Amino acid sequence: MPELTRRRLLAAGAAASGAVAASQLLTAPAAGAAGRRPLAADPFTLGVASGDPLTTAVVIWTRLAVDPLNGGGMPDSPVAVQWQVAQDQSFRKVVRRGVAIADPDLAHSVHVDVRGLEPGRVYWYRFRAGTYVSPAGRTRTIARDPSKLRVALASCQNWQNGYFTPYADMREQEPDIVLFVGDYIYESAPTASAVRVHEGSGEPYSLLQYRNRYAQYKTDPDLLAMHAAAPWIVTFDDHEVDNDFAGDVPQDPAQQSHDAFVSRLTAAYQAYYEHMPVRASAVPNGPHLQMYRSFDFGRLARLNVLDTRQFRSDQTTTQAGAEDPAMTMLGAPQRAWLAGNLASSHARWNLTASQIMMAETDLLAGPGKEWFYDAWDGYQVERNDLLARFRQVDNPVVLSGDRHLTMISDLKRDYADPGSAVVGAEFVGTSISSNGDQDATAFNAMWDPLRGDNPHWKVIDYHRGYHLFDIGERGIDAQVRVVGTVLKPQSASTTLSSLRVDAGRPGVHVV
């Protein structure tokens, strides 16, 4: 095992220990503990987060960074970080505590897999390094058999396109889970005319550059607050690495050699792990990152989280290529895993988190078709096989992102057949800020002529925001929550559209 990987796993394992505590306060580390040298300033500039909740466990996260946009500014040595989990916000009822080692090899990030918690319960957590105590975060475990679940769907937050204002409203809605389906950062170079300018002098390629880009994004106050308010389940898309990359193929192979791009992938995946509240199973192994996984919410729902970037064939540019059976979005192991999870599910709702859109987008008005090849349209044989499997499971619903618009659709067994059966529903969530404030007239002029060629679309809209789902045994009530603008730090939110998916009735309808 490579030495760095071994050290990462040891550090992750040490961080996962938990013990019942009777004390109410975080105390200073004992003499001889790692990182005895006093910290120069508050290291909790990037806040706290939690994620990947289970019935009796959840991951809590922080990263020490006294100078976040310049590599973190931490000493090149491990730092002991104490942590507590309590049943109350005042931390009078501490139930788990421990010490994690923030290693410089992982940017002094801390991932604590807290075990032995009670199902379906809200908890509070915090960290201490030296004399500094972090803000408190709020998280929750999954109930053993919940009767309802509130999920917020988010994606695509481009720093340069606007403020992350939708998170302020999301926090008020108090979701049980935030599902983030990709484009947490953007790798684009700074643009002087942007609403907020990216740090650095160009695109990130090195580990240090990716760390600085993540650190900048995590200074957004609304994003900080939402991470501290609820557990997140995350996956990545392309902009966490390079626009439209596929496997180990970059967007511009003429400008990035294979070896250079593999180095970039390695740096990007490590920085992603360092900044996300995920388990040690996601510690990268060079240019590979294990991200597809599933979550069970009792008999109410099973959530399969996909990785549609790391194993895909390079994008085609032709219709014949899109219909080639050799084209894969998932790769054989992930495809088999997903098929097994669908076949074995006894859940009322079978949710699939897909970074990119699954329903067809016919971009050619009138006879013929023109597809959006970076999405599932470019991988039609595999897509159609998955849609066929949806007919065999209860109430499939796909939750997607990537498109920077709201596009809510019926999923059809075969989009080549106008009379094909509806097998499920898809919610393509709009972006948090990507594309900024779009012009309604230009948007409608582009998309309205295509509605007749895409009768499965139920709602299409240009606003920034997120989707909110109240999942119950009889149905899913969905809201498209949008803000008036992302060009200012604050903006009022409204419900643009309300929709319903009824159990036992494939498809979605506007309320």
User: Following DSSP, what letter does each residue of 105-131 receive, concatenated?
Assistant: GGTTEEEEEE-SPPTT-EEEEEEEETT
> Domain 145-510 classified CATH 3.30.360.10?
no
User: Rounded distance, CA 98 to CA 125, Å?
Assistant: 12
**Does residue 479 contact residue 170 with C-beta atoms inside 8 Å?**
no
Give CA–CA dist 154/399, Å, rounded.
Answer: 10
Helix (H, G, I), strand (E, B) or coil at 265: helix
Tell me the CB-side half-sphere exposure of residue 16, using CA atoms within 13 A.
Answer: 14
Q: What dihedral angle (degrees, nearest 10) is formed by the CA atoms of 402, 398, 477, 409?
A: 70
Distance CA 276, CA 283 (A): 11
Residue 472 region by backbone torsions, left for phi larger than 0, else alpha for psi between -120 and 50, else beta: beta
Listed residue (94, 100, 120) closest to 48, CA to CA: 100
- Tokens matching residue 495: 């419900």
Query: Residue 490: is its pLDDT beyond 60?
Result: yes
- pLDDT recorded at residue 21: 32
Domain ranges of the chain: 1-141, 145-510
Fold of the domain spanning 1-141 = Immunoglobulin-like (2.60.40)
102: Cα separation from own chain's centroid:
23
* Partners of 179 in the β-ladder: 153, 233
Q: What angle do CA 220, 224, 230 make, to 5 degrees?
A: 145
User: By C-alpha distance, which of 423, 392, 403, 411 is closest to 454?
Assistant: 411
Reported pTM: 0.94
Segment 98-114 mean pLDDT: 98
Q: What's the pLDDT at 27?
A: 56
Residue pair 34/79 in contact by the 8 Å Cβ criterion: yes
pLDDT at 10 over 60: no
pLDDT digits (tens, 9 = 90+) for 35-65: 567 898 999 999 999 999 999 999 999 999 9
Count of Cβ atoms closer than 10 Å to residue 430 Cβ: 30
Query: Is 89:122 a contact under the CB 8 Å cutoff?
Result: no
User: What pLDDT is attached to residue 371?
Assistant: 95
Residues 249, 254, 258, 264: is their CA dihedral positive or negative?
negative
DSSP string, 161-183: G---THHHHHHHH--SEEEE-S-
Structural contact between residues 463 and 482, judged by C-beta atoms closer than 8 angstroms: yes
pLDDT digits (tens, 9 = 90+) for 305-362: 999 999 999 999 999 999 999 999 999 999 999 999 999 999 999 999 999 999 999 9
Q: Give the tens place of pLDDT for each residue, 394-447.
A: 999 999 999 999 999 999 999 999 899 999 999 999 999 999 999 999 999 999
C-alpha dihedral over 384, 479, 483, 172, to 10 degrees? Answer: -120
Q: Which of 4-8, 133-137, 186-190, 265-269 has the lowest mean pLDDT?
A: 4-8
